[in-house]
A and B are shown apart, each in its own frame.
Chain A
């Protein structure tokens, strides 16, 4: 059973455009929601993360929007660049737990 559902599976965006990736969860015990970026042949690297007491968090061109009532969160990449082409994973963690639950990933391709 997939604890965190992610869409779309793949995304193609023009350079300078906005990339949007969505995730949804059911378990209300989750209290930490990170996004990871993974390049081919590399391990996942933390991009940005949010807690449910905040509705939005922005770091540079990356923004997480969080809707606690809908149990959804999304990643927005502004001014997308070809170097952003990678696979993005949303994840969730329960308070006091010891592991992350990952989404299935979104392969982003930014066309020059």
Chain B
């Protein structure tokens, strides 16, 4: 079975541009979460979506937005890119909603590495 797949794997943007990152969860998983991992740091929670609804949001500016599609895939959008947005963006999927979520049921993809110049 395929794991969590993310695209693109690497991309380079310039300040002020917009970026869209994509994630396909494990088949049957209805929840998708997004995390930002700055080089040398641990991942930080951005969003969680379950059944196409936003169920959680981390401490990120409104330039960050996301959505989940009927097939449970998800997009993360970042507008007006800043140098500080350079990071590895991780998508994680889980079968259930967070309230019943055990961390062991959270599966991460390999990430999309964004470089902002």
Which of A12-20, A38-46, A68-76, A77-85 has 4 or more CB atoms under 8 Å from chain B? Answer: A38-46
> For residue A103, which residues in chain B have a CB less than 8 angstroms away from its CB?
42
Which of B61-69, B71-79, B99-107 has 4 or more CB atoms under 8 Å from chain A? Answer: B99-107
Q: Which residue of B lies closest to A103 (CB)?
A: B42
Q: Which residue of A lies closest to B105 (CB)?
A: A46
Q: Is the CB of B43 within 8 A of A44?
A: yes
> For residue A99, which residues in chain B have a CB less than 8 angstroms away from its CB?
33, 45, 48, 56, 58, 98
A34 to B41 Cα, complex, angstroms: 17
Q: Which residue of A lies closest to B92 (CB)?
A: A43
Q: Is the CB of B97 within 8 A of A98?
A: yes
> For residue A49, which residues in chain B have a CB less than 8 angstroms away from its CB?
102-104
Asked if A91 is an interface residue, CB under 8 A from chain B, the answer is: yes
> For residue B42, which residues in chain A have a CB less than 8 angstroms away from its CB?
4, 6, 89, 91, 102-105
Interface size on B, residues (CB 8 A): 27
A62 to B106 Cα, complex, angstroms: 20
Asked if A32 is an interface residue, CB under 8 A from chain B, the answer is: yes
A49 to B101 Cα, complex, angstroms: 13
**Of the residues B41, B55, B111, contact of A98 by C-beta under 8 Å:** B55
Kindly supply a per-residue 1/0 record for chain B positions 10-39, scoring 1 wherever the CB is within 8 Å of any chain A CB and 0 otherwise.
000000000000000000000001010000
A99 to B92 Cα, complex, angstroms: 11
Residues in B lying within 8 Å of A, measured CB to CB: 4, 33, 35, 40-45, 48, 55-56, 58, 90, 92, 97-99, 101-104, 106, 108-111
